[in-house]
Amino acid sequence: MANVSVFGAGAYGVALAVLLQKNGHQVTLRSSTAEKAQRLQKERRIPSLPEVTLPPEIKVTNDLCLACTGQPSAAPSLLVLAASSVHIRPLAHAMAPYVQKGQIVVNVAKGIEESTLKTLSQQIEEELPQAQAAVLSGPSHAEEVGRGIPTTCVTGAKSQKTAETVQNIFMCDSFRVYTNPDVLGIEIGGALKNVIALAAGIADGLGYGDNTKAALITRGMAEITRLAVAMGARTETLYGLSGIGDLVVTCASMHSRNRRAGILIGRGATAGEAMREVNMVVEGVYAAKAGLALARRYQVAMPIIENINAVLFEGKSPSACLSDLMLRDRCVENASLCWGQ
């Protein structure tokens, strides 16, 4: 049995806390405010996961020191960051005085810091150099993880031992975990699939069909892979759970807040209006600018992400974007394939 603390009492944090408790671990769930912690301690559920009840064995707290150190009990061997991506650096910074050398900090959020273009693991390493940073990613909607529906993810870390520790703590008959040393590839795939999911949702909102969505998923994956490889990631990672797996589920499912926001935008809402309607953090809106900035830094063509930025921040109409994407200059599908081979 491991001692685990989950930071973030939103849908995914609650779902993972329930999963980890069912796996036999001692779990502390840390909420960002005392008011939310008290409410969750009493009601044992949140509105976004009405079918999931927090077991009484899970301790709920707002005390950051307690969640990090476990005192008076033993210090947690695993600290799970389940906050939204924009809160990861501030959260890690606040945790710094309490995190001990060698503790594993596993990030389950998906995003890129707009101001620095750093991944979430890179931010954690800067704020918590004494810790062992890891990432857990893949097609894993909280609504299904919390209900014990079979789910498969991938974990990455610089150390194989760290990744295998995370694998062993999370893995069970309803939650299968693979390991992968390519942390960068895992994180780029997880962050930028949210932008493509916005595009897929916009296409749905415009009334387009399955052909359009399949094209956006396929060509979106090509864009993400080009960028990730240019940054030093491995193609194989993007063909795995944190790449194509997460992209497919986020573009296709109504559990996806990014797809839902995209549908609203396709129907005429602004990005701000869509985010307010969804009433949850829409990570793709925050990742879009960072994705475009990385594309320009590494001189990689990413026309879908470029057009999504134009819709979100420049007032371009979604229908004009789809038309521009369809009428781009003729090109080959894969430049690595040549005639006569």
Which residues are designated catalytic? Answer: 193
Cα 290 to chain centroid distance, Å, stands at: 15
Measure the CA–CA gap between 23 and 136, rounded to whole angstroms: 17
Measure the CA–CA gap between 45 and 224, rounded to whole angstroms: 36
- Neighbouring CB atoms inside 10 A of 216's CB total 24
- Degrees, nearest 5: CA angle 275-245-270: 15
Tell me which amino acid residue 260 is: R
Pairing of strands 151-157, 132-137: antiparallel
What 3-state DSSP class applies to 53? coil
Maximum separation of any 2 CA atoms in the chain, in Å: 70
Cα 283 to chain centroid distance, Å, stands at: 8
Residue 215, H or E segment: helix 210-231
DSSP states along 109-133: ---B-TTT--BHHHHHHHH-TTSEE
Q: Which of 110, 65, 73, 113 is nearest to 90 (CA)?
A: 113
Peptide bond into 72 cis (omega under 30): yes
